[in-house]
Structure 1
Protein backbone atom coordinates (compact mmCIF):
# COMPACT_ATOMS: atom_id res chain seq x y z
CA UNK A 1 0.00 0.00 0.00
CA UNK A 2 1.08 3.57 -0.65
CA UNK A 3 -0.18 6.76 0.95
CA UNK A 4 -1.03 9.80 -1.16
CA UNK A 5 -2.80 13.05 -0.43
CA UNK A 6 -5.91 14.02 -2.40
CA UNK A 7 -7.26 17.50 -1.71
CA UNK A 8 -5.46 17.52 1.63
CA UNK A 9 -6.87 14.13 2.66
CA UNK A 10 -4.53 11.17 3.25
CA UNK A 11 -5.58 8.20 1.11
CA UNK A 12 -4.16 4.68 1.09
CA UNK A 13 -4.25 2.68 -2.13
CA UNK A 14 -2.58 -0.47 -3.49
CA UNK A 15 0.59 0.15 -5.48
CA UNK A 16 -0.19 0.45 -9.18
CA UNK A 17 -3.69 1.83 -8.59
CA UNK A 18 -4.63 4.77 -10.79
CA UNK A 19 -5.22 8.15 -9.19
CA UNK A 20 -8.78 8.00 -10.49
CA UNK A 21 -9.52 4.69 -8.75
CA UNK A 22 -7.86 5.86 -5.55
CA UNK A 23 -9.91 9.05 -5.56
CA UNK A 24 -13.13 7.17 -6.29
CA UNK A 25 -12.46 4.77 -3.40
CA UNK A 26 -11.94 7.77 -1.13
CA UNK A 27 -15.26 9.33 -2.19
CA UNK A 28 -13.71 12.02 -4.40
CA UNK A 29 -15.52 12.44 -7.71
CA UNK A 30 -13.47 13.01 -10.86
CA UNK A 31 -15.43 13.37 -14.12
CA UNK A 32 -14.67 10.89 -16.92
CA UNK A 33 -15.77 10.39 -20.50
CA UNK A 34 -13.56 7.93 -22.38
CA UNK A 35 -12.69 5.84 -19.30
CA UNK A 36 -13.78 2.20 -18.93
CA UNK A 37 -12.28 0.53 -15.87
CA UNK A 38 -9.57 -2.01 -16.80
CA UNK A 39 -10.53 -1.69 -20.49
CA UNK A 40 -10.01 1.85 -21.72
CA UNK A 41 -7.64 3.93 -19.63
CA UNK A 42 -6.08 6.00 -22.40
CA UNK A 43 -6.82 9.52 -21.17
CA UNK A 44 -7.83 10.68 -24.64
CA UNK A 45 -10.68 12.95 -23.56
CA UNK A 46 -8.56 14.73 -20.90
CA UNK A 47 -11.68 15.26 -18.78
CA UNK A 48 -10.25 13.44 -15.75
CA UNK A 49 -7.32 15.84 -15.38
CA UNK A 50 -5.90 16.45 -11.90
CA UNK A 51 -3.03 18.58 -10.62
CA UNK A 52 -0.10 16.48 -9.41
CA UNK A 53 2.29 18.53 -7.28
CA UNK A 54 5.60 18.97 -9.04
CA UNK A 55 4.33 17.58 -12.34
CA UNK A 56 1.35 19.70 -13.35
CA UNK A 57 -1.83 18.43 -14.96
CA UNK A 58 -2.16 14.70 -15.63
CA UNK A 59 -4.90 12.31 -16.69
CA UNK A 60 -5.95 10.55 -13.51
CA UNK A 61 -7.18 7.41 -15.30
CA UNK A 62 -3.71 6.34 -16.40
CA UNK A 63 -1.50 7.97 -13.76
CA UNK A 64 -0.42 5.49 -11.08
CA UNK A 65 -0.24 6.44 -7.42
CA UNK A 66 3.12 6.56 -5.68
CA UNK A 67 4.23 7.12 -2.12
CA UNK A 68 3.91 10.74 -1.04
CA UNK A 69 2.09 11.94 -4.16
CA UNK A 70 0.04 15.09 -3.59
CA UNK A 71 -2.98 15.57 -5.86
CA UNK A 72 -5.55 18.33 -6.23
CA UNK A 73 -8.78 17.70 -8.13
CA UNK A 74 -10.63 20.92 -7.30
CA UNK A 75 -8.41 23.85 -8.28
CA UNK A 76 -9.55 26.59 -10.70
CA UNK A 77 -6.78 25.52 -13.08
CA UNK A 78 -8.05 21.94 -13.15
CA UNK A 79 -11.63 23.08 -13.73
CA UNK A 80 -10.56 25.43 -16.53
CA UNK A 81 -8.53 22.72 -18.27
CA UNK A 82 -11.37 20.21 -18.07
CA UNK A 83 -13.79 22.79 -19.43
CA UNK A 84 -11.49 23.69 -22.32
CA UNK A 85 -11.03 20.05 -23.28
CA UNK A 86 -14.76 19.41 -23.15
CA UNK A 87 -15.42 22.48 -25.27
CA UNK A 88 -12.97 21.19 -27.89
CA UNK A 89 -14.89 17.91 -27.99
CA UNK A 90 -18.20 19.75 -28.27
CA UNK A 91 -16.87 21.90 -31.12
CA UNK A 92 -16.29 18.75 -33.19
CA UNK A 93 -19.58 17.07 -32.21
CA UNK A 94 -22.88 17.20 -34.07
CA UNK A 95 -24.90 18.37 -31.08
CA UNK A 96 -28.48 17.98 -32.25
CA UNK A 97 -29.59 17.08 -28.75
CA UNK A 98 -33.32 17.75 -29.13
CA UNK A 99 -33.69 15.01 -31.76
CA UNK A 100 -31.00 12.63 -30.52
CA UNK A 101 -32.11 9.26 -29.13
CA UNK A 102 -29.51 9.63 -26.37
CA UNK A 103 -30.67 13.05 -25.22
CA UNK A 104 -31.51 11.77 -21.72
CA UNK A 105 -28.57 9.40 -21.33
CA UNK A 106 -25.72 11.19 -23.11
CA UNK A 107 -22.60 11.46 -20.96
CA UNK A 108 -21.24 14.30 -23.08
CA UNK A 109 -24.43 16.33 -22.75
CA UNK A 110 -24.45 15.77 -18.99
CA UNK A 111 -20.87 17.01 -18.65
CA UNK A 112 -21.51 19.93 -21.02
CA UNK A 113 -24.36 21.01 -18.77
CA UNK A 114 -22.23 20.60 -15.65
CA UNK A 115 -19.47 22.78 -17.12
CA UNK A 116 -21.93 25.26 -18.69
CA UNK A 117 -20.63 24.77 -22.22
CA UNK A 118 -22.07 26.19 -25.42
CA UNK A 119 -22.76 24.59 -28.80
CA UNK A 120 -20.12 24.88 -31.50
CA UNK A 121 -20.23 28.29 -33.24
CA UNK A 122 -19.22 26.89 -36.63
CA UNK A 123 -20.99 24.50 -39.03
CA UNK A 124 -21.82 21.07 -37.66
CA UNK A 125 -19.85 18.09 -39.01
CA UNK A 126 -21.70 15.87 -41.45
CA UNK A 127 -22.14 12.10 -40.90
CA UNK A 128 -20.32 9.69 -43.19
CA UNK A 129 -22.38 7.25 -45.31
CA UNK A 130 -23.68 4.18 -43.47
CA UNK A 131 -25.77 1.11 -44.33
CA UNK A 132 -29.26 2.22 -43.29
CA UNK A 133 -30.56 -1.38 -43.38
CA UNK A 134 -28.04 -2.76 -40.88
CA UNK A 135 -29.45 -3.20 -37.32
CA UNK A 136 -26.47 -1.29 -35.85
CA UNK A 137 -26.44 2.36 -36.88
CA UNK A 138 -23.52 4.78 -36.67
CA UNK A 139 -23.47 8.57 -36.93
CA UNK A 140 -19.81 9.52 -37.31
CA UNK A 141 -20.61 13.21 -36.76
CA UNK A 142 -21.47 12.42 -33.13
CA UNK A 143 -18.39 10.28 -32.50
CA UNK A 144 -15.96 11.82 -29.99
CA UNK A 145 -13.13 9.28 -30.62
CA UNK A 146 -13.21 8.00 -27.05
CA UNK A 147 -12.28 4.46 -28.20
CA UNK A 148 -14.79 2.83 -25.85
CA UNK A 149 -16.40 0.90 -28.71
CA UNK A 150 -12.96 -0.30 -29.86
CA UNK A 151 -12.05 -1.50 -26.36
CA UNK A 152 -15.31 -3.26 -25.49
CA UNK A 153 -15.57 -4.99 -28.87
CA UNK A 154 -11.98 -6.24 -28.89
CA UNK A 155 -11.28 -6.98 -25.22
CA UNK A 156 -14.68 -8.23 -24.01
CA UNK A 157 -16.63 -9.45 -27.06
CA UNK A 158 -13.50 -10.52 -28.98
CA UNK A 159 -15.00 -9.44 -32.31
CA UNK A 160 -12.67 -6.49 -33.06
CA UNK A 161 -15.20 -4.91 -35.41
CA UNK A 162 -14.00 -1.38 -34.65
CA UNK A 163 -10.57 0.12 -35.27
CA UNK A 164 -9.03 3.58 -35.61
CA UNK A 165 -6.73 5.45 -37.94
CA UNK A 166 -4.65 8.59 -37.44
CA UNK A 167 -3.44 10.27 -34.26
CA UNK A 168 -4.50 13.31 -32.29
CA UNK A 169 -7.10 15.52 -34.01
CA UNK A 170 -6.95 13.37 -37.16
CA UNK A 171 -8.04 10.22 -35.33
CA UNK A 172 -11.04 8.46 -36.88
CA UNK A 173 -12.99 5.43 -35.72
CA UNK A 174 -13.56 3.01 -38.59
CA UNK A 175 -14.89 -0.46 -39.24
CA UNK A 176 -12.01 -2.94 -39.25
CA UNK A 177 -10.09 -2.89 -42.54
CA UNK A 178 -12.61 -0.34 -43.83
CA UNK A 179 -15.04 -3.19 -44.48
CA UNK A 180 -18.77 -2.64 -44.91
CA UNK A 181 -20.29 -3.22 -41.48
CA UNK A 182 -22.30 -6.18 -42.79
CA UNK A 183 -19.02 -7.95 -43.69
CA UNK A 184 -17.02 -7.12 -40.55
CA UNK A 185 -18.19 -10.00 -38.36
CA UNK A 186 -20.41 -7.89 -36.10
CA UNK A 187 -22.34 -10.16 -33.71
CA UNK A 188 -24.97 -7.47 -33.04
CA UNK A 189 -24.43 -7.90 -29.30
CA UNK A 190 -25.10 -4.20 -28.69
CA UNK A 191 -22.19 -3.70 -26.30
CA UNK A 192 -20.67 -0.88 -28.36
CA UNK A 193 -24.04 0.89 -28.29
CA UNK A 194 -24.32 0.44 -24.54
CA UNK A 195 -20.83 1.83 -23.90
CA UNK A 196 -20.92 4.69 -26.40
CA UNK A 197 -21.20 7.91 -24.34
CA UNK A 198 -23.04 9.79 -27.11
CA UNK A 199 -25.52 9.04 -29.89
CA UNK A 200 -22.82 7.93 -32.33
CA UNK A 201 -23.88 4.28 -32.07
CA UNK A 202 -27.54 3.31 -31.88
CA UNK A 203 -29.89 0.52 -32.87
CA UNK A 204 -31.90 0.84 -36.06
CA UNK A 205 -35.28 2.38 -35.25
CA UNK A 206 -38.16 0.35 -36.74
CA UNK A 207 -40.95 1.89 -34.66
CA UNK A 208 -42.49 3.68 -37.65
CA UNK A 209 -42.60 0.43 -39.63
CA UNK A 210 -44.28 -1.34 -36.73
CA UNK A 211 -46.87 1.41 -36.33
CA UNK A 212 -47.62 1.31 -40.07
CA UNK A 213 -48.28 -2.44 -39.78
CA UNK A 214 -50.46 -2.00 -36.69
CA UNK A 215 -52.55 0.69 -38.40
CA UNK A 216 -52.99 -1.36 -41.59
CA UNK A 217 -56.19 -3.43 -41.24
CA UNK A 218 -54.99 -5.84 -43.92
CA UNK A 219 -51.91 -6.80 -41.84
CA UNK A 220 -52.15 -9.24 -38.93
CA UNK A 221 -49.49 -8.30 -36.40
CA UNK A 222 -47.94 -10.95 -34.16
CA UNK A 223 -45.61 -10.58 -31.17
CA UNK A 224 -43.39 -13.37 -29.87
CA UNK A 225 -42.02 -12.59 -26.41
CA UNK A 226 -38.69 -14.13 -25.48
CA UNK A 227 -38.07 -15.28 -21.86
CA UNK A 228 -35.54 -12.51 -21.25
CA UNK A 229 -38.06 -9.87 -22.31
CA UNK A 230 -40.83 -11.42 -20.25
CA UNK A 231 -38.56 -11.43 -17.21
CA UNK A 232 -37.16 -7.90 -17.45
CA UNK A 233 -39.72 -5.81 -19.34
CA UNK A 234 -41.00 -4.02 -16.22
CA UNK A 235 -37.61 -2.62 -15.22
CA UNK A 236 -37.69 0.17 -17.78
CA UNK A 237 -41.16 1.18 -16.63
CA UNK A 238 -40.43 1.14 -12.91
CA UNK A 239 -42.66 -1.86 -12.25
CA UNK A 240 -41.89 -4.34 -9.49
CA UNK A 241 -41.40 -8.02 -10.28
CA UNK A 242 -44.86 -8.72 -8.86
CA UNK A 243 -46.49 -6.12 -11.12
CA UNK A 244 -44.62 -7.00 -14.31
CA UNK A 245 -46.49 -10.22 -15.02
CA UNK A 246 -46.64 -11.96 -18.42
CA UNK A 247 -50.37 -11.31 -18.46
CA UNK A 248 -49.90 -7.59 -17.98
CA UNK A 249 -47.27 -7.55 -20.73
CA UNK A 250 -49.64 -9.33 -23.12
CA UNK A 251 -52.47 -6.93 -22.24
CA UNK A 252 -50.21 -3.94 -22.87
CA UNK A 253 -49.16 -5.26 -26.28
CA UNK A 254 -52.78 -5.88 -27.23
CA UNK A 255 -53.60 -2.32 -26.09
CA UNK A 256 -50.85 -0.99 -28.36
CA UNK A 257 -52.63 -2.69 -31.24
CA UNK A 258 -50.99 -6.04 -31.86
CA UNK A 259 -53.41 -8.75 -32.95
CA UNK A 260 -51.74 -11.78 -31.38
CA UNK A 261 -49.21 -12.17 -28.56
CA UNK A 262 -47.32 -15.41 -27.94
CA UNK A 263 -44.81 -16.49 -25.28
CA UNK A 264 -41.71 -18.11 -26.79
CA UNK A 265 -40.74 -19.83 -23.54
CA UNK A 266 -40.93 -23.43 -24.74
CA UNK A 267 -39.22 -22.64 -28.05
CA UNK A 268 -36.40 -20.96 -26.11
CA UNK A 269 -36.01 -24.09 -23.99
CA UNK A 270 -35.68 -26.15 -27.16
CA UNK A 271 -33.07 -23.70 -28.45
CA UNK A 272 -31.03 -24.02 -25.26
CA UNK A 273 -31.13 -27.82 -25.45
CA UNK A 274 -30.09 -27.79 -29.12
CA UNK A 275 -27.26 -25.31 -28.52
CA UNK A 276 -26.06 -27.34 -25.54
CA UNK A 277 -26.09 -30.56 -27.56
CA UNK A 278 -24.16 -28.95 -30.41
CA UNK A 279 -21.61 -27.52 -27.97
CA UNK A 280 -21.02 -30.91 -26.31
CA UNK A 281 -20.70 -32.59 -29.70
Structure 2
Protein backbone atom coordinates (compact mmCIF):
# COMPACT_ATOMS: atom_id res chain seq x y z
CA UNK A 1 0.00 0.00 0.00
CA UNK A 2 1.06 3.57 -0.72
CA UNK A 3 0.99 6.12 2.09
CA UNK A 4 0.94 9.76 1.07
CA UNK A 5 -0.59 13.11 1.95
CA UNK A 6 -2.93 15.23 -0.15
CA UNK A 7 -3.39 18.73 1.24
CA UNK A 8 -2.06 17.35 4.56
CA UNK A 9 -4.73 14.62 4.53
CA UNK A 10 -3.30 11.13 4.99
CA UNK A 11 -4.29 8.74 2.21
CA UNK A 12 -3.57 5.04 1.83
CA UNK A 13 -4.13 3.50 -1.59
CA UNK A 14 -2.91 0.49 -3.60
CA UNK A 15 0.23 0.78 -5.68
CA UNK A 16 -0.48 2.17 -9.15
CA UNK A 17 -3.30 4.49 -8.04
CA UNK A 18 -3.24 7.87 -9.74
CA UNK A 19 -3.12 11.11 -7.79
CA UNK A 20 -6.60 11.92 -9.10
CA UNK A 21 -8.13 8.69 -7.80
CA UNK A 22 -6.31 9.02 -4.49
CA UNK A 23 -7.66 12.55 -4.08
CA UNK A 24 -11.19 11.38 -4.77
CA UNK A 25 -10.83 8.77 -2.05
CA UNK A 26 -10.34 11.50 0.57
CA UNK A 27 -13.02 13.78 -0.95
CA UNK A 28 -10.55 16.24 -2.49
CA UNK A 29 -11.93 17.47 -5.80
CA UNK A 30 -9.47 18.05 -8.62
CA UNK A 31 -11.17 19.51 -11.70
CA UNK A 32 -10.93 17.49 -14.91
CA UNK A 33 -12.27 17.73 -18.43
CA UNK A 34 -10.70 15.05 -20.61
CA UNK A 35 -10.80 12.31 -17.94
CA UNK A 36 -13.83 10.03 -17.79
CA UNK A 37 -14.28 7.22 -15.23
CA UNK A 38 -14.95 4.67 -18.00
CA UNK A 39 -11.81 5.50 -19.97
CA UNK A 40 -8.04 5.48 -19.47
CA UNK A 41 -6.45 8.92 -19.00
CA UNK A 42 -5.29 10.85 -22.05
CA UNK A 43 -3.86 13.87 -20.19
CA UNK A 44 -5.17 16.02 -23.03
CA UNK A 45 -6.59 19.05 -21.23
CA UNK A 46 -4.12 19.82 -18.43
CA UNK A 47 -6.76 21.10 -16.03
CA UNK A 48 -5.99 18.52 -13.34
CA UNK A 49 -2.48 19.83 -12.59
CA UNK A 50 -1.17 19.49 -9.04
CA UNK A 51 2.19 20.00 -7.39
CA UNK A 52 4.45 18.02 -5.08
CA UNK A 53 5.41 19.93 -1.95
CA UNK A 54 8.82 21.53 -2.39
CA UNK A 55 8.75 21.28 -6.19
CA UNK A 56 7.80 23.94 -8.72
CA UNK A 57 6.94 21.34 -11.36
CA UNK A 58 3.26 20.68 -11.98
CA UNK A 59 2.00 17.16 -12.68
CA UNK A 60 -1.20 15.96 -14.31
CA UNK A 61 -3.11 14.14 -11.61
CA UNK A 62 -5.10 11.94 -14.00
CA UNK A 63 -2.07 10.03 -15.27
CA UNK A 64 0.56 10.38 -12.53
CA UNK A 65 0.77 7.44 -10.10
CA UNK A 66 0.96 8.46 -6.48
CA UNK A 67 4.15 7.41 -4.73
CA UNK A 68 4.95 6.55 -1.15
CA UNK A 69 5.71 9.60 0.96
CA UNK A 70 4.39 12.12 -1.56
CA UNK A 71 2.98 15.36 -0.18
CA UNK A 72 0.63 16.69 -2.83
CA UNK A 73 -0.81 20.18 -3.10
CA UNK A 74 -3.97 20.33 -5.20
CA UNK A 75 -4.91 23.97 -4.71
CA UNK A 76 -2.84 27.12 -4.37
CA UNK A 77 -3.02 30.48 -6.19
CA UNK A 78 -0.62 29.43 -8.95
CA UNK A 79 -2.32 26.09 -9.60
CA UNK A 80 -5.75 27.70 -9.74
CA UNK A 81 -4.43 30.39 -12.11
CA UNK A 82 -3.01 27.75 -14.46
CA UNK A 83 -6.27 25.81 -14.47
CA UNK A 84 -8.25 28.97 -15.12
CA UNK A 85 -5.97 29.90 -18.03
CA UNK A 86 -6.42 26.44 -19.56
CA UNK A 87 -10.20 26.81 -19.42
CA UNK A 88 -9.97 30.31 -20.91
CA UNK A 89 -7.82 29.04 -23.78
CA UNK A 90 -10.32 26.27 -24.51
CA UNK A 91 -13.15 28.81 -24.46
CA UNK A 92 -11.24 30.98 -26.94
CA UNK A 93 -11.56 28.17 -29.48
CA UNK A 94 -15.15 27.35 -28.55
CA UNK A 95 -18.28 29.02 -29.98
CA UNK A 96 -20.54 31.01 -27.65
CA UNK A 97 -23.72 29.11 -28.42
CA UNK A 98 -24.62 27.84 -24.97
CA UNK A 99 -28.27 28.90 -25.04
CA UNK A 100 -29.00 26.95 -28.22
CA UNK A 101 -26.65 24.03 -27.55
CA UNK A 102 -28.09 20.61 -26.81
CA UNK A 103 -25.73 20.27 -23.84
CA UNK A 104 -26.73 23.55 -22.20
CA UNK A 105 -26.92 22.85 -18.48
CA UNK A 106 -25.04 19.54 -18.72
CA UNK A 107 -21.90 20.74 -20.51
CA UNK A 108 -18.75 20.04 -18.50
CA UNK A 109 -16.89 22.97 -20.06
CA UNK A 110 -19.75 25.29 -19.17
CA UNK A 111 -19.66 24.05 -15.57
CA UNK A 112 -15.90 24.55 -15.31
CA UNK A 113 -16.22 28.09 -16.62
CA UNK A 114 -18.84 28.77 -13.95
CA UNK A 115 -16.72 27.13 -11.24
CA UNK A 116 -13.78 29.40 -12.10
CA UNK A 117 -16.01 32.45 -12.29
CA UNK A 118 -15.14 33.17 -15.92
CA UNK A 119 -17.44 35.93 -17.14
CA UNK A 120 -15.24 37.63 -19.72
CA UNK A 121 -13.06 36.29 -22.52
CA UNK A 122 -9.38 36.91 -21.88
CA UNK A 123 -8.18 35.67 -25.26
CA UNK A 124 -9.24 36.54 -28.80
CA UNK A 125 -11.59 34.08 -30.46
CA UNK A 126 -9.98 31.66 -32.91
CA UNK A 127 -12.74 29.33 -34.03
CA UNK A 128 -12.21 26.34 -36.24
CA UNK A 129 -14.60 26.20 -39.15
CA UNK A 130 -15.82 22.68 -39.77
CA UNK A 131 -19.14 21.51 -41.22
CA UNK A 132 -21.79 19.86 -39.09
CA UNK A 133 -22.40 16.20 -39.93
CA UNK A 134 -26.10 15.33 -39.84
CA UNK A 135 -25.93 12.41 -42.24
CA UNK A 136 -27.36 9.91 -39.75
CA UNK A 137 -30.73 9.99 -38.01
CA UNK A 138 -29.18 9.09 -34.66
CA UNK A 139 -26.12 11.25 -33.99
CA UNK A 140 -24.99 14.72 -35.02
CA UNK A 141 -21.34 15.75 -35.12
CA UNK A 142 -20.52 19.40 -34.42
CA UNK A 143 -16.71 19.57 -34.80
CA UNK A 144 -16.60 23.32 -34.03
CA UNK A 145 -17.45 22.50 -30.42
CA UNK A 146 -14.86 19.74 -30.09
CA UNK A 147 -12.22 20.36 -27.41
CA UNK A 148 -9.96 17.52 -28.60
CA UNK A 149 -10.24 15.60 -25.34
CA UNK A 150 -10.20 12.26 -27.17
CA UNK A 151 -13.02 10.67 -25.19
CA UNK A 152 -15.10 9.85 -28.27
CA UNK A 153 -12.24 8.17 -30.11
CA UNK A 154 -11.23 6.23 -27.00
CA UNK A 155 -14.69 4.81 -26.42
CA UNK A 156 -15.35 4.21 -30.12
CA UNK A 157 -12.06 2.48 -30.83
CA UNK A 158 -10.99 0.85 -27.57
CA UNK A 159 -14.30 0.08 -25.83
CA UNK A 160 -16.81 -0.44 -28.65
CA UNK A 161 -14.17 -1.60 -31.17
CA UNK A 162 -16.03 0.18 -33.98
CA UNK A 163 -13.38 2.67 -35.12
CA UNK A 164 -15.87 5.09 -36.64
CA UNK A 165 -14.30 8.24 -35.15
CA UNK A 166 -10.76 9.58 -35.22
CA UNK A 167 -8.87 12.79 -34.51
CA UNK A 168 -7.67 14.11 -37.85
CA UNK A 169 -4.72 16.43 -38.56
CA UNK A 170 -2.43 18.07 -35.98
CA UNK A 171 -2.21 21.17 -33.82
CA UNK A 172 -4.99 23.73 -34.10
CA UNK A 173 -6.23 21.97 -37.23
CA UNK A 174 -7.01 18.83 -35.22
CA UNK A 175 -10.66 17.90 -35.44
CA UNK A 176 -12.92 15.00 -34.67
CA UNK A 177 -14.36 13.17 -37.69
CA UNK A 178 -14.75 9.68 -39.14
CA UNK A 179 -11.46 8.23 -40.37
CA UNK A 180 -10.71 9.30 -43.91
CA UNK A 181 -12.81 12.43 -43.39
CA UNK A 182 -15.91 10.71 -44.74
CA UNK A 183 -19.45 11.30 -43.51
CA UNK A 184 -20.69 9.53 -40.39
CA UNK A 185 -23.29 7.73 -42.52
CA UNK A 186 -20.51 6.21 -44.64
CA UNK A 187 -18.40 5.24 -41.63
CA UNK A 188 -18.61 1.96 -39.65
CA UNK A 189 -20.74 3.78 -37.02
CA UNK A 190 -23.36 1.50 -35.44
CA UNK A 191 -25.24 4.38 -33.74
CA UNK A 192 -24.58 3.02 -30.25
CA UNK A 193 -24.45 6.56 -28.83
CA UNK A 194 -21.40 5.99 -26.64
CA UNK A 195 -19.52 8.87 -28.26
CA UNK A 196 -22.38 11.20 -27.39
CA UNK A 197 -22.64 9.84 -23.85
CA UNK A 198 -18.94 10.46 -23.22
CA UNK A 199 -18.58 13.83 -24.98
CA UNK A 200 -18.14 16.62 -22.38
CA UNK A 201 -19.49 19.34 -24.68
CA UNK A 202 -21.99 19.63 -27.52
CA UNK A 203 -19.59 18.34 -30.16
CA UNK A 204 -21.50 15.05 -30.42
CA UNK A 205 -25.14 14.78 -29.52
CA UNK A 206 -28.10 12.56 -30.22
CA UNK A 207 -30.79 13.82 -32.54
CA UNK A 208 -33.47 15.64 -30.58
CA UNK A 209 -37.03 15.15 -31.84
CA UNK A 210 -38.70 16.79 -28.85
CA UNK A 211 -40.36 19.51 -30.91
CA UNK A 212 -41.65 16.99 -33.45
CA UNK A 213 -43.17 14.90 -30.65
CA UNK A 214 -44.85 17.90 -29.00
CA UNK A 215 -46.27 18.98 -32.34
CA UNK A 216 -47.72 15.51 -32.86
CA UNK A 217 -49.20 15.39 -29.35
CA UNK A 218 -50.82 18.81 -29.74
CA UNK A 219 -52.41 17.93 -33.08
CA UNK A 220 -55.93 16.54 -32.48
CA UNK A 221 -55.88 14.94 -35.92
CA UNK A 222 -52.83 12.84 -35.07
CA UNK A 223 -53.05 9.44 -33.39
CA UNK A 224 -49.75 9.54 -31.50
CA UNK A 225 -48.12 6.15 -30.93
CA UNK A 226 -45.07 5.49 -28.76
CA UNK A 227 -42.94 2.37 -28.50
CA UNK A 228 -40.54 1.90 -25.59
CA UNK A 229 -37.41 -0.23 -25.52
CA UNK A 230 -36.96 -2.83 -22.75
CA UNK A 231 -34.12 -0.90 -21.08
CA UNK A 232 -36.25 2.22 -20.60
CA UNK A 233 -38.30 0.74 -17.77
CA UNK A 234 -35.19 0.30 -15.60
CA UNK A 235 -33.07 3.21 -16.86
CA UNK A 236 -35.59 6.04 -16.76
CA UNK A 237 -36.15 6.16 -13.01
CA UNK A 238 -32.60 7.19 -12.15
CA UNK A 239 -33.17 10.55 -13.86
CA UNK A 240 -36.12 11.18 -11.54
CA UNK A 241 -34.56 10.22 -8.23
CA UNK A 242 -35.45 6.53 -8.11
CA UNK A 243 -32.89 3.88 -7.24
CA UNK A 244 -30.83 2.78 -10.26
CA UNK A 245 -32.45 -0.23 -11.88
CA UNK A 246 -35.85 0.21 -10.23
CA UNK A 247 -38.63 -1.18 -12.44
CA UNK A 248 -41.03 1.55 -13.57
CA UNK A 249 -43.02 -0.18 -16.29
CA UNK A 250 -46.50 0.85 -15.14
CA UNK A 251 -45.45 4.38 -14.21
CA UNK A 252 -43.89 4.79 -17.65
CA UNK A 253 -47.10 3.67 -19.36
CA UNK A 254 -49.17 6.04 -17.21
CA UNK A 255 -46.92 9.03 -17.86
CA UNK A 256 -46.92 8.45 -21.61
CA UNK A 257 -50.71 8.29 -21.69
CA UNK A 258 -50.98 11.48 -19.64
CA UNK A 259 -48.63 13.21 -22.05
CA UNK A 260 -51.14 12.48 -24.79
CA UNK A 261 -50.01 9.32 -26.53
CA UNK A 262 -53.04 7.37 -27.70
CA UNK A 263 -51.26 4.02 -27.95
CA UNK A 264 -48.25 2.66 -26.05
CA UNK A 265 -46.40 -0.34 -27.44
CA UNK A 266 -43.83 -2.37 -25.52
CA UNK A 267 -40.86 -3.74 -27.44
CA UNK A 268 -40.11 -6.54 -24.97
CA UNK A 269 -41.51 -9.36 -27.08
CA UNK A 270 -39.89 -8.02 -30.23
CA UNK A 271 -36.57 -7.70 -28.41
CA UNK A 272 -36.82 -11.30 -27.20
CA UNK A 273 -37.49 -12.51 -30.74
CA UNK A 274 -34.53 -10.47 -31.97
CA UNK A 275 -32.25 -12.08 -29.37
CA UNK A 276 -33.42 -15.55 -30.39
CA UNK A 277 -32.81 -14.78 -34.06
CA UNK A 278 -29.35 -13.42 -33.32
CA UNK A 279 -28.54 -16.51 -31.26
CA UNK A 280 -29.66 -18.71 -34.15
CA UNK A 281 -27.41 -16.80 -36.55
CA UNK A 282 -24.38 -17.40 -34.35
CA UNK A 283 -24.98 -21.14 -34.06
Contact 2:237 2:248 in 1 (8 A): yes
TM-score, length-scaled by structure 2: 0.87
Superposition pairs of residues 215-230 of structure 1, within 5 angstroms: 215-216=218-219, 219-230=222-233
Say whether 1:190 aligns with 2:193. Answer: yes
Q: Following TM superposition, by how much is the alpha carbon of 1:199 offset from its aligned partner in structure 2, in angstroms?
A: 1.2
Describe the shift of the 1:34–1:254 C-alpha distance in structure 2 as closer, same or farther (beyond 3 A): same
Structure 2 CA distance, aligned partners of 1:27 and 1:272? Answer: 43
Say whether 1:63 aligns with 2:67. Answer: no
Q: 2:168 aligns with which of 150, 165, 169?
A: 165
Where does residue 206 of structure 1 map in the other structure?
209
Q: Following TM superposition, by how much is the alpha carbon of 1:126 offset from its aligned partner in structure 2, in angstroms?
A: 6.2
Number of residues paired by the alignment? 279
Describe the shift of the 1:8–1:239 C-alpha distance in structure 2 as closer, same or farther (beyond 3 A): closer
Contact 1:149 1:196 in 2 (8 A): yes
Superposition pairs of residues 33-182 of structure 1, within 5 angstroms: 33-37=33-37, 39-52=39-52, 53-54=54-55, 56-120=57-121, 122=124, 125=127, 128-134=130-136, 135-182=138-185
Q: Following TM superposition, by how much is the alpha carbon of 1:157 offset from its aligned partner in structure 2, in angstroms?
A: 0.6
Where does residue 21 of structure 1 map in the other structure?
21
Structure 2 CA distance, aligned partners of 1:237 and 1:2? Answer: 39
TM-score, length-scaled by structure 1: 0.87
Name the SS of the counterpart of 2:190 in structure 1.
coil
Where does residue 32 of structure 1 map in the other structure?
32
Superposition pairs of residues 191-270 of structure 1, within 5 angstroms: 191-216=194-219, 219-238=222-241, 244-246=248-250, 248-270=251-273
Q: Following TM superposition, by how much is the alpha carbon of 1:23 offset from its aligned partner in structure 2, in angstroms?
A: 1.8
Q: Which moved more, 1:188-197 or 1:28-37?
A: 28-37
Describe the shift of the 1:26–1:184 C-alpha distance in structure 2 as closer, same or farther (beyond 3 A): same
Contact 1:90 1:119 in 2 (8 A): no
Contact 2:167 2:174 in 1 (8 A): yes
Q: Which moved more, 1:91-100 or 1:106-115?
A: 91-100
Aligned-residue CA RMSD (Å)? 2.6
Describe the shift of the 1:27–1:225 C-alpha distance in structure 2 as closer, same or farther (beyond 3 A): closer
Contact 1:164 1:172 in 2 (8 A): yes
Describe the shift of the 1:261–1:10 C-alpha distance in structure 2 as closer, same or farther (beyond 3 A): closer
Structure 2 CA distance, aligned partners of 1:61 and 1:35? Answer: 7
Structure 1 CA distance, aligned partners of 2:7 and 2:246? Answer: 46
Q: Following TM superposition, by how much is the alpha carbon of 1:211 offset from its aligned partner in structure 2, in angstroms?
A: 3.5
- Specify every segment of 5 or more residues in structure 2 that has no aligned partner in the other structure, as ranges: none
What is the CA deviation profile of residues 74-99 of structure 1, one whole-angstrom value per residue up to 9, with x for unaligned ones? 11111111111111111111132222
